Structure formats: C-alpha cells, structure tokens
Amino acid sequence: MTVIDVHTHMLSRPWFELLRQKGKPRYAVKPSKDWPAPLGIYADGAPFMTPQEGHFDYELRIKKMNEAKVDLAIVSLTCPNCFWGGPKTSLKAAQLVNDDMAQAQTAWPDRIRWFCSIPWEHEELALQELERATAAGAIGVMVLANVAGRSLTDARFAKIWKAIDRKGLPVLVHPTSPPGTKQLDIQRFNLIAQMGFMFDTSLAVARLLYDGFLDTYPNVKLIAAHAGATLPYLVGRMDICFDNMVAVREKVKERPSELLRRIYYDSVTFTLDALKMAVEVGGADKMLYGSDYPHNIGDMRGCLSRVDALPYEQRKAARGGNAMRIFKI
C-alpha cells in the first residue's frame, strides 16, 4: 500500500532570510529556547515556530521517509507562510518557496509533490501566482486558517476561491497564531502551539461550513489540519446548537455532522482514540495520512503506526488511497 504524507512541511533558506529581513513588526527571528534549533520565529514577541534542520534539507527528508516507509510527500510551507510584508514581499516569499518545491519535485519526481503558497491578501498577485505555481506542478493550495487576521470567508478572497474551485484543487487549511493571542493569554507556555492552533483551525473551518462554502465551491477539497483540530470532539455540541439556534442554520440546511463528512482530515493527532474519532466523524474515505514532519512534534512513524492500527480498509484508504484519488496521483 502506497503511503502518501499530505501534512508535512518545507522551508527554504531564502524564504527564511526574507522573513528575518522583512517580517517585522509582527514576526522576528531570534534565538530559540527549543534545542537543537538555534533560531526560532516569534509572533508578537511570543515563540511561534521553531525551524528544524529537516525544514531545509530535502536529502534528509528523503532519508527519513525511507526509514519510516513513506513513499510520497506532498510538502507545504508552514506558518507564517507569506502573509507578511507588503505586496512585493508577500509575492516574493510565495515564489521563493514555490520555486524551491518545484525544483525538489524535479529532483525527486517519485517522492515529492507540493501545495503552493499564494499571497492571499493581494488578489491579483494571488491569482497570478496560483496560475504560475500550478503550471510548475503544484497539486494543491496551502492557506492558513486566518490570513493576517482575516477570516477565510472574507469577501475579498472570493475570486481566489473561485479560481481554486475551477481547478478542483485540494486546499490544506493549516493553523497559525489566532487573532487575540494577548487577550487570550496564550503567549506563555507555548499555548499557541498547544491550544491556539487548534482553535484557529476549528473556527476557520466552522465558519466555512456555516457560510455555505461547500455548496458555493463544490470542487474545492478542504483538508482540516491536525485531524480536524477540535471539530470531531465538538460535533455533538455543533449539532444541538444547529437544532436550537436560528443563526447557526442561517445559510445551510445540513447539520454540522453532515457537513463534516464532506471535508477531509489528516492523521496528525497523537492518540489512537483521537484518530478513530476523526475517522468516525469524517468517514474512512476522508482520512489522509499526515505526519507534521519535520516540526519538533512531527512524527512520521508514530502517525503512521496509528493509521496502521485502524481496520484494514480504513488503513488502506488513509495510507494513500484517499490521497491518490483527490490529488489525482
């Protein structure tokens, strides 16, 4: 059974250097507290993301994939992606990483595919880069769960979503630091990574579902990162609110539990019970293997071992069958 990793990240050193130069005032590159990474990315003064050696080294990635018996990686840029700087900087950040990933696919055509990043804040530039990147080989789009504080349902993104819908591409909805981190008091104890990221994805996907996104853009295949974050756990609460609160069903007729069976999930969760819950909520035909490699909590082998603990047909679909279908591999 082919194993395809749909949630796994790469950076490039030129992108990292551009962030160091142009990321302020929000983002800064400073010494990291998390060994062995020498430098970390800070958002609004708080630890945010800690690049590892594997983020920059494709040969190391291939070695780790071989050790974990992962056949293909669909790599993506992680947060803060390219949502910083002005239009020129944002576009350059996207292009630097997209070009690097395209080159990696050329070097390892049997092992690497990629999600493109696009400067969502700048509509025309985003549309241009979407065309350029997909022509260069991108088979999906990465978007953060909020784009510099803006919801993915913001009307200014409608033309971008329409273009993605026309192409029928999978979109990985990946968390970043949620708005209001200071007010939520989650800048301490690395709570942004532990809790904030999960809130960010859950709120973003819930907004999309309740806004009628799945009917407006029926060809977009949404992938909710980290096994859907908190959504599988909250589905019962969402349904009862739908049944009893008019505002919840303002734009949709299907209950949340039905809508959640129309999107996809990756396997980046760290207990078998949580993975089984995501499969139960989303359906076995919606689960995709992911590892979150090479983050310091990423785990190719562990995430795959939990997928392999599922019943045979579920395991077969999640290992690679579902990904081969939606990415047309």
How many Cβ atoms are within 10 Å of 94's Cβ, its own excluded? 28
CA distance 86 to 119: 10
d(CA 326, CA 149): 29
Share in percent of the chain as helix, strand, coil (round to 5): 50, 15, 35
Strand ranges across the sheet with 46-49:
27-31, 39-43, 46-49
**Residue-range domains of the chain with CATH:** 4-326 (3.20.20.140)
Q: What is the pLDDT of residues 33-59, one digit of tens each?
A: 776 668 889 888 888 888 999 999 999
pTM score of the predicted model: 0.96
Could you report the per-residue pLDDT of 11-22, keeping only the tens digit for each? Answer: 999 999 999 999
pLDDT at 32: 76
For 30, the enclosing helix (H) or strand (E) is strand 27-31
Q: How many Å apart are CA 97 and CA 11, to the nearest integer? A: 7
Average pLDDT of the chain to the nearest whole number: 95
pLDDT confidence band for 80 (50 / 70 / 90): very high
Alpha-carbon span 161 to 83, nearest angstrom? 17
Q: Is the dihedral of CA 32, 13, 327, 178 positive or negative?
A: positive
| DSSP structural state of residue 150 | B
